[in-house]
Amino acid sequence: MQESRYLIPGDYSADPSAHVFGGRLFVYPSHDRDAGIPERDNGDHFDMVDYHAYEIKGDPMTGEVVDHGMVLHLKDIPWAKRQLWDNDVAEKDGRYYMYFPAKDANDVFHIGVAIADRPEGPFKPLPEPIPGSYSIDVCAFKDKDGAQYLVFGGIWGGQLQRYRDNKQVFTAAEDTLPDGYRCALEPAEDEPALCPKIVRLSDDMLSFAEQPRDIVITDENGNALKAGDHKRRFFEAAWLYFKDGKYHLSYSTGDTHLICDAVADTLAGPYRFDRVLLGPQVGWTTHHCVVEVGGKWYLFHHDSVPSGGRTWLRSLKVKELA
């Protein structure tokens, strides 16, 4: 089995979301650039401003990678001020919906929507973000009954630690602290960890049909993982997929740099921790997606080897998932 493959060696891209639309494999990453901003725990140095759509023709490990060009730019999003981080795309009735996080004028992350008639774009953004949306790292998931969902959330720079019960109960004060504030607003280490959120989308795909709810991840005894369990608890980059009759929630542990997988019998969960899918990579962040192509399963992710370890200049990779 080929170990891994760099997909776009001539450019820096990260945070991949991959889907098969109409028999064609598309990858929608964030687009790294060197903005000259000092590296900080709050992620200011990840100052991305646009998205490209890529198509892999044939086998993900060997097929040609086609760049369909820029499909959305920050300057075209009326409500967004900066930082186009990861995105994902869903399809319904022949239209394609890109969901993306960005900071508004007050430097608060929300989730926006942009629409296209083709999976390769271009995507036209709505003038306002989704009401009630917050945080980052969007995953679009279509369930067996056709219902469409978003999974989202990320700690520290992704601001999830500011929220409880979908309300912002802490201010941005921690952003003014020096690096190392880290767990300032997280639960105590012996308390349940913060959870990724899941929400069903409205029929028109443009708003939430319900209040976001927690996806609880448990240990082998059914107990919710604690905030101090840094090798298993959720940090960011949740990805939901259905495989072998089970719902799988894969995610990054953040400061311990692992991609983990948890499984459940139902969409609502809870999700029991199962295994580590990927160990630490060069570069601080770990972000991924899992997709089935031609009866095989693939893990898309990134590292910072080509840029010499600079965490804000990452490169996409793919490997077959064992």
- Catalytic amino acids? 15, 236
Q: Is 164 helix (H, G, I), strand (E, B) or coil?
A: strand
How far is residue 24's CA from residue 57's CA, in Å, rounded to a whole number? Answer: 7
pLDDT-derived band at 175, boundaries 50, 70, 90 = low
Query: Is 229 exposed, middle or buried, given 0-12, 13-18 or 19+ CB atoms closer than 10 A?
Result: middle
Quick check: is 276 in a domain? yes
pLDDT bracket for residue 159 (50, 70, 90)? very high
From the centroid of its chain, how far is CA 282? 19
Task: Give domain status of residue 18, yes or no.
Answer: no
Is residue 67 assigned to a domain?
A: no
Whether pLDDT at 276 is above 90: yes
Domain that holds residue 248: 33-52+73-296
For residue 2, tell me if it sits in a domain.
no
Give the number of other CB atoms < 10 A from CB of residue 208: 18
Q: Using DSSP bridges, classify how beta strands 259-264 and 271-278 pair: parallel, antiparallel or unpaired.
A: antiparallel
**pLDDT given at position 2:** 61
User: Is residue 140 over pLDDT 60?
Assistant: yes
The verdict on residue 308 lying in a domain is no
Coil, strand or helix at 19:
strand
Q: Is the pLDDT of residue 1 over 60?
A: no
State how far the Cα of 83 lies from the Cα of 74, in Å rounded to an integer: 8
pLDDT at 316: 98
The pLDDT score that the predictor gives to residue 183 is 57
Number of domains in the chain: 1
Q: Which two tokens stand for residue 115?
A: 């629409």
pLDDT above 90 covers what percent of the chain?
A: 91
User: What rounded mean pLDDT belongs to the chain?
Assistant: 95
DSSP 174-193: GGGSPTT-TTTTSPPTTSBP
This model's pTM is above 0.75:
yes
Per-residue pLDDT at 49:
98
Q: pLDDT by residue (tens digit) across 57-85?
A: 999 999 999 999 999 999 999 999 999 99
- Give tens-digit pLDDT for 197-251: 999 999 999 999 999 999 999 999 999 999 999 999 999 999 999 999 999 999 9
H or E stretch covering 128: none
Residue 268 belongs to domain with CATH number: 2.115.10.20
Alpha-carbon distance 278 to 299, whole Å? 9
The verdict on residue 270 lying in a domain is yes
CB 18 within 8 A of CB 36: no
